[in-house]
Chains A and B, each alone.
Chain A
Amino acid sequence: MDISKYLPDFIKKIPTHMDFDGQKRAERHFQIIIILFSVVGFTWGYICQQFSQTMYILIAGFTVSCLLTLPPWPMYRRKPLNWQKARAEVEDVGSSGSTSSPPSSAQKSKKKK
C-alpha cells in the first residue's frame, strides 16, 4: 500500500520535513496571524455591527495561516540539527562488507562511544 516506492525519484527528493526550529516558528506564525486577524475582525465587526464580518475575517486569517504554515516551506528548514558525524564509522562498517544490517552498525557505533 505504500505508494512512495512507485513515485519517481525527483519527487521523492523533494524535502517534506521541517526542522525543530521551523516547527516552532510555524506554530508561532499561525498563532500571531490568527490572533491578529481576529482582533482586526472584531474591531471591524463592532464598527459595522456585523458579527458575520468578524467571522469572515477570522476565516481569511485561517486561510492565510494555512497557506503559510501547512506546506513545509524552505524557510522552516534553515536550522537543521547538527547531528554528530557518524558517517566515517558507517563507511568503515560498509567497507568491511556488512551493509545488510544497518541497526547492528548503529549498535556498534553506540558501543564504541
Chain B
Amino acid sequence: MNTFLSRLNTIFAFTLSVMAGLTFLCFLSTFFNDHKTLVSINTGKIIVKSVPDYSTSREKNDLGFVVFDVQSDILSSLIVPTTSLFLYLTAEYTTQNHKLNQIVMWDKIIKRGENAIIDYKSMNTKYYFWDYGNGLRGNRNVTMTLSWNVIPNAGTLPKVMGEGSHRFAFPDDYTYFDVNHLEFLTLNSFPDHHDLIQNGDRNVNSHCLRKVHLTTKMSPNCYRCLLSSDLQAYRYNSMRGWGGPETQEPTPPSTPHNLSTPHPNLTLGV
C-alpha cells in the first residue's frame, strides 16, 4: 500500500474478488428456480416416404413429414432471470434395430425481451425426420416433446422438458410422388420449357425444374426422378419459408404406386 502501483493492485484484486462473490450470488438467485411449464403439442398431416438420402448413402431410408402445432404461454415468466432460452422439439420412438431414437425436429432461440409466448400453427419441421432404416412406416408410438435449455448469466445450464407431450403414428403406407404436391409441373410444358413455370400465385424455382428436366432426360425411370424432384421442391420451399408442398390444403390420400409402372399422367414427357 506504500506505492501507487501496489495500491492499484490491491484495489483491483479486491474488486475482482467481490465480483466473483456477486456472480456466485447471481448463480444462487436462479439455481433453485423450477423452469417447468405446460406445453401443448398437436400434429396435423403426417406422411412418410421412402427416399434415398444421398448425403449418406444411396439406400432408401424412411423420411417423415410432420405438420405440428406448439403452444405454451408461461414461458414469459421463465425468461426474466435468464439471458435466453433455447427451445427444441424432439420426437422419440423405438424401432426394431434401435431402442431409443431421438430426433430434433424444430428449434428456436428466444432472447430476453423478445416475445416468449409460443403459439405456432401448422409448422413444418425445420430438420429432416430421417430414420436410419425403415422404422417410421407404421410406427404407432412416436412421442413429441418440447424441451428447452435455460441459459443463465452465471451457473448451470438446465435442460428442462416441458410438461405435456403428444403421441402420433405414422401411416402404414409410403406416400409416393403425389401430383397434388407438384401441381406446377404441368405436363405440356414439362419436356420443353424448363425455365419458369407458374401455377396460380406460386413461383417455381427454375433451377429446380431444370434439374428435374435434366435428370428426367438422362434417366429412363421417370418416376424415380420425380420422386427426388418432389424432395427438392420441398427443400426449396422450406428453405424459402414458404412451407413445403405438404402444408397445402389437405389432399386426398395419395395411393402408392408401383415403381415399375409410372404414374399415368406423368409418362407424357419422356
Contact = CB atoms under 8 A, between A and B. Distances in A.
A23 B8 contact: no
B154 A31 contact: no
Given A31-B14, A61-B15, 15 more contacts: A18-B2, A26-B1, A30-B11, A34-B11, A35-B18, A38-B18, A41-B22, A42-B25, A45-B26, A51-B153, A62-B15, A65-B11, A69-B11, A70-B4, A70-B7
Interface string A59-93: 00110011001111000000000000000000000
A71 B14 CA distance: 18
B218 interface: no
Contact of B2 (A23, A62, A71): A23
A78 B29 CA distance: 45
A58 B22 contact: yes
Contact of B11 (A46, A49, A66): A66
B22 A42 contact: yes
The B interface is mostly helix, strand or loop, or mixed, namely helix
Interface of A: 17-18, 23-24, 26-27, 30-31, 34-35, 38, 41-42, 45-46, 49, 51, 54-55, 58, 61-62, 65-66, 69-72
Say which size band chain B's interface belongs to.
20 to 34
Contacts of A61: 15
B239 interface: no
A31 B18 CA distance: 10
B19 A58 contact: yes
A40 to B, nearest CB: 11
B22 A34 contact: no
Contacts of A18: 1-2
B10 interface: yes
A26 B18 contact: no
Nearest to B6: A23
B15 to A, nearest CB: 5
A45 B25 CA distance: 11
The 4 closest A-B pairs by CB, nearest first: A23-B1, A51-B153, A62-B15, A38-B18
Nearest to B23: A51
Given A17-B2, A27-B1, A70 B18 contact: no
A70 B11 contact: yes
A45 B81 CA distance: 11
A12 B93 CA distance: 82
A62 B11 contact: yes
Given A17-B2, A49-B81, A54 B15 contact: no
Contacts of B11: 30, 34, 62, 65-66, 69-70
B22 A70 contact: no
Contacts of B22: 38, 41-42, 54-55, 58
A51 B26 contact: yes
Contacts of A42: 22, 25
B154 A51 contact: yes
Contacts of B187: none
Which of A51, A71, A72 neighbours the largest number of chain B CB atoms within 10 Å of its CB?
A: A51
A69 B7 contact: yes
A4 B170 CA distance: 87
A30 B26 contact: no
Contacts of B12: 62
